């Protein structure tokens, strides 16, 4: 029996709209089409002009549809994590007929019972990730369907985003003539592809260098446990080059791509290249060391701010270290610079799909991988979330929960690492999340 299905992902980015069309089976993914269009109507990862954003999405979809010879109607949509809030949630229901096997209806009821964390008016639920179920006190049940019992319990992790961000993403998708088949938090998609099973299980930090912002995400037990967004990304590096060298943004982007290095010490005063500058008849000769110094200055600022946020939650004590991805992750020397600032092992992830071997495509491909691995329980959880969002109960949460930390609200955190034992460090780390 042929179980092949077509999956289409939509990555709504600050610098580019990327669409990937893939033919997927239960154990294999083949990319059959890719479309990319210059992003418009975007600012630092969020939509600020619906018409322009929808137009750019249409362009990317048209290219992908042509290349794959496929009609595109449904897409897996990636959501940014600006303003993300994270909650631990639990639910319990009594089963009236103890001789009847637990089915989808019972699972929906216990999932709905777990949605008791009411939200501020501006937030809405976007994802519910199961940890485990319990049947009559027997814990760590992954899927209770088919079992019998008198009491069904559930524990999981609940995520919410500002309504405006979710609405604008889905409105732009509809305006582009598409339907959102499923929404995925972008770091979850990236982690699905960039981190191996051990890194997702024992804990790792994924840093995505986007065009408009840089996002650091903590993945542990295959779940997103913490994320922090710095409001600076690759576009600002390009801007710095443009301003310092008095050249156009287009030239600055080419310089970064072809000659850029993340550390000044990796450059050379002897290695020079011509740069067209404003107001000059002849190109100016610039050394690779000077260009690298411009790039390094901005990267140090971004990484230093992220380091403070990660130290605050002891994320850098996790055994998986740091994995880099996103456009700037291709810069020579960025692993060394990150390791120097963070003090842990660092590696860069590059997709191995033919034609997409660039870290900028990690999350686009990750969306496909995430959709490929969706289970029946994931789909049930989404249905419950969608029903709850259509009939929300809004008030302020009774207690503070972990949430995204923007660079505009940076805490002053000591750089010193905890001297606790590894076990105690991790215990304290996760206790901070779910007391």
Label each residue of the chain as H, E or C: CCCCEEEEEEEECCCEEEEEEEEECCCCEEEEEEEEEECCCEECCEECCHHHHHHHHHHHHHHHHHHHCCCCCEEEEEECCCCCEEEEEEEEEECCCCCCCCCHHHHHHHHHHCCCCCECCCEEEEEEEEEEEEECCEEEECCCCCCCCCEEEEEEEEEEEEHHHHHHHHHHHHHCCCEEEEEEEHHHHHHHHHCCHHHHHHCEEEEEECCCCEEEEEEECCEEEEEEEECCCHHHHHHHHHHHHCCCHHHHHHHHHHHCECCHHHCCCCCEEEECCCCCCCCEEEEHHHHHHHHHHHHHHHHHHHHHHHHHCCHHHCCCCEEEEEHHHHCECHHHHHHHHHCCCEEECCCCCCCCCCHHHHHHHHHHHHHHCCCHHHHHHHHHHHHHHHCCCECCCCCCCCECEEHHHCCCCCCCCCCCCHHHHHHHHHHHHCC
Give the predicted TM-score (pTM) of the model.
0.88
The token duo for 17 is: 């709209």
User: Could you read off the pLDDT of 335-367 as tens digits, one per residue?
Assistant: 999 999 999 999 999 999 888 999 999 999 999
Asked if residue 274 lies in contact with residue 284, where contact means CB atoms within 8 angstroms, the answer is yes
For every one of its 435 residues, what pLDDT tens digit does the chain have, with 9 covering 90 and above?
567 899 999 999 999 999 999 999 878 889 999 999 999 999 988 999 999 999 999 999 999 999 999 999 999 999 999 999 999 999 999 998 888 999 999 999 999 999 987 788 899 999 999 999 999 999 999 999 999 999 999 999 999 999 999 999 999 999 999 999 999 999 999 999 999 999 999 999 999 999 999 999 999 999 999 999 999 999 999 999 999 999 999 999 999 999 999 999 999 999 999 999 998 889 999 999 999 999 999 999 999 999 999 999 999 999 999 999 999 999 999 999 999 999 999 999 999 988 899 999 999 999 999 999 999 999 999 999 998 876 644 443 433 444 444 444 443 333 444 445 545 555 555 555 544
What domains appear along the chain, each with residue ranges and CATH number? 85-161+380-411 (3.30.1490.110), 196-348+412-435 (3.30.420.40)
Up-side HSE of residue 251: CA atoms within 13 Å toward CB?
18
Region at 431 (left for phi over 0; alpha for psi -120 to 50; beta for the rest)? alpha
Of residues 12, 380, 18, 37, the one with CA closest to residue 170: 12
């Amino acid at each position: 029996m042929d179980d092949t299905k077509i999956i289409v992902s939509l990555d709504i980015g600050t610098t580019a709209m990327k669409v990937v069309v893939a033919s997927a089976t239960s154990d294999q993914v083949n990319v059959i089409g890719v479309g990319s269009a210059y992003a418009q109507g975007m600012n630092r990862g969020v939509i600020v002009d619906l018409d322009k954003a929808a137009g750019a999405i249409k362009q990317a979809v048209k290219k992908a549809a042509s290349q794959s010879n496929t009609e595109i109607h449904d897409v897996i949509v990636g959501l940014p994590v600006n303003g993300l809030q994270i909650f631990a949630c639990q639910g319990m229901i009594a089963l009236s007929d103890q001789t009847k096997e637990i089915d989808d209806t019972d699972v929906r009821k216990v999932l709905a019972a777990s949605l008791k964390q009411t939200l501020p008016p501006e937030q809405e639920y976007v994802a519910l990730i199961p940890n485990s179920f319990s049947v009559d006190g027997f814990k760590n049940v992954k899927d209770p369907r088919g079992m019998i019992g008198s009491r069904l319990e559930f524990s999981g992790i609940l995520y919410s985003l500002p309504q405006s961000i979710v609405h604008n993403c889905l409105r732009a998708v509809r305006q582009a003539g598409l339907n959102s088949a499923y929404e995925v938090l972008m770091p979850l998609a990236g982690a699905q592809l960039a981190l191996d099973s051990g890194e997702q299980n024992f804990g790792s930090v994924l840093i995505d260098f986007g065009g408009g912002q840089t996002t650091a995400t903590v993945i542990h037990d295959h779940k997103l446990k913490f994320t922090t967004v710095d409001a600076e990304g690759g576009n600002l590096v390009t801007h710095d080059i443009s301003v310092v060298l008095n050249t156009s943004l287009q030239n600055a982007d080419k310089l970064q791509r072809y000659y850029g290095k993340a550390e000044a010490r990796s450059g050379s005063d002897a290695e020079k290249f011509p740069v067209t500058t404003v107001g000059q008849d002849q190109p100016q000769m610039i050394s690779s060391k000077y260009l690298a110094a411009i790039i390094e200055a901005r990267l140090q600022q971004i990484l230093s701010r992220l380091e403070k946020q990660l130290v605050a939650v002891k994320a850098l004590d996790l055994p998986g270290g740091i994995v880099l991805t996103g456009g700037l992750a291709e810069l020579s020397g960025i692993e060394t610079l990150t390791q120097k600032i963070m003090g842990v092992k660092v590696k860069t992830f590059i997709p191995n799909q033919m034609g997409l071997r660039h870290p900028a495509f990690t999350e686009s491909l990750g969306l496909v991988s995430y959709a490929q691995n969706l289970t029946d329980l994931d789909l049930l959880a989404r249905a419950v979330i969608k029903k709850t969002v259509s009939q929300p109960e809004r008030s302020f949460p009774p207690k503070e929960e972990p949430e995204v930390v923007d660079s505009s609200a940076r805490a002053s955190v000591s750089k010193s690492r905890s001297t606790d034992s590894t076990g105690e460090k991790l215990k304290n780390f996760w206790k901070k999340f779910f007391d």
